[in-house]
Structure 1
């Protein structure tokens, strides 16, 4: 890829996804777009970029953004966020929501679904405590292709070995050939939707916890500030935001501040006006937003 095409690609990614691709990532662009060329039967990256510059194929723009998106994830990644969810976030929200008995969780940039299903496993293991509660887990990502994998809930031996305790694997998965299929019950607890974090999210409603991990690291400071402002609008009063281990809100103008008592949790530093009620989640299989 020549320097002119690389500059065009970087500008497109910034505009469409917020990804600030470094000037030293030409090798990454060549690698990712070579794979895309093979998928689309295009003879070279130069030809692909000529098609892109014509601006006649919005679907090609989306395919290139998806190709350049990093989809690295695993079950119970970094462990600490899930411990905080079980030991801090859940007790708080169960007390706050005791009257209406509803819990809503948003996994932003969910990739192939492991984070959302990890949270579902924690909730499933608390089924007796949560009897009669209405549980909703929403997983969103900019990539439609990766969301199809998340919805399927089918993982390789390598994927289930990464972070997933053996007892949870045997309890929540069924082996079919060389693949592991997550249980229908857990799949019915999660809805996956395509969503760009740069876009308005009013229709999603409010959440008791938002997991947006290892995403801000790809954004420049203005984009981080914009995304954090949108996330703040989606959090219910006294609710929590969970970022990646290397991410922080310090130094950024936002409505968030780190929790002094629980490292890894981010809290709203002021009250945000309540958002509209969420639109109903679309039914799938056994249905969503159902009591445990």
Structure 2
């Protein structure tokens, strides 16, 4: 792959998906795109780039999906799901008692393990959520991973990663060497294709948003833009869950950390209010004293 080919791919991926590849990630591009090129009947990445420059949209979509499909597994990092059970749901049980409904968004859901983990968490709390309307919206850029997520079918290896055995037995049905999420759990999740770089206001308002392990691939400007748009679709008292390596610090004041809950944030009600708002400036105090 020539430097010009790599720069073309970097620019295209940034524009289409927000993925901000550094100059030293050529090995990653080669490892993911050489197999794709060969499946397309092309000999190497330069041939792939020629086709893409010629406007082969289907091929471009495949390249973007190949580069943005990331690893996921059930109950990944565990702490976010503890926060859901111990902090988010108890708070919503009080604040949403009148309407008895909860909307949660799993952004960049990949093959679906995160939204199904959320669904199982809520199902385990069914005694508290009786007669409540639960809606989980799961989105991803890749149509391919969404199709797998909708099917809810996972290999033995996939269900062994992070999924407690008691939940596997309770919420999955074995299909030969595969396992499928039971219909009642699948019915709790709506899957939609969505690019986080584009407008997502049509999704409506959410009480909680899981946007984990995706912002780390974006530059600061793109992260700030996404936070601004997340603020518009989250309720004023809603909660935002970020990944372990992600933070709003130094990027935006749209959200502030939730006390003593790592990775959990809320809309900042003091945004735009000067630190000394309400206090008389020192010069005015001196003038008044005279």
Considering the TM-score relative to the shorter chain, is it more than 0.5? yes
What pairs up with 1:150-165 in 2 under 5 angstroms? 150-165=149-164
SS at match of 1:135: strand
1:209-235 deviation per Cα after TM superposition (whole angstroms, max 9, x unaligned): 000001111001001101111111110
1:66-114 deviation per Cα after TM superposition (whole angstroms, max 9, x unaligned): 0111321000001000000011000111211111111000000000000
Q: Identify which range, 36-45 or 95-104, moves more after superposition.
A: 36-45
SS at match of 2:84: helix
Q: Within the alignment, does 1:26 sit opposite 2:26 as a pair? A: yes
- For 1:44, the equivalent position in structure 2 comes to 44
1:36-76 deviation per Cα after TM superposition (whole angstroms, max 9, x unaligned): 1133222322211001112x222222111101113210000
In 2, Cα distance between equivalents of 1:78 and 1:253: 24
Q: Which runs of 5 or more structure 2 residues have no equivalent in the other structure? A: 272-290
Structure number, greater radius of gyration:
2
- For 2:16, the equivalent position in structure 1 comes to 16
1:105-131 deviation per Cα after TM superposition (whole angstroms, max 9, x unaligned): 000000000000001001111222211
Q: TM (normalized to structure 1)? A: 0.90
What pairs up with 1:141-220 in 2 under 5 angstroms? 141-220=140-219
In 2, Cα distance between equivalents of 1:271 and 1:143: 37
Q: Within the alignment, does 1:109 sit opposite 2:116 as a pair? A: no
In 2, Cα distance between equivalents of 1:214 and 1:261: 20
Is the CA contact 2:75–2:117 (under 8 Å) kept in the aligned structure 1? yes
Q: Within the alignment, does 1:67 sit opposite 2:66 as a pair? A: yes
How far 1:267 moved relative to its partner?
A: 1.0
Over the aligned positions, Cα root-mean-square deviation in angstroms equals: 1.2
In 1, Cα distance between equivalents of 2:263 and 2:65: 29
Q: Which runs of 5 or more structure 1 residues have no equivalent in the other structure? A: 273-292
In 1, Cα distance between equivalents of 2:106 and 2:203: 12
Gap change, CA 1:119 and 1:66, over 3 Å in 2: same
- Relative contact order (alpha carbons < 8 A, sep ≥ 6): 1 or 2 greater? 1
How far 1:254 moved relative to its partner?
A: 3.6
How far 1:22 moved relative to its partner?
A: 1.2
Q: TM (normalized to structure 2)? A: 0.91
What is the number of residues matched between the two proteins? Answer: 271
In 1, Cα distance between equivalents of 2:270 and 2:92: 16
How far 1:9 moved relative to its partner?
A: 0.3
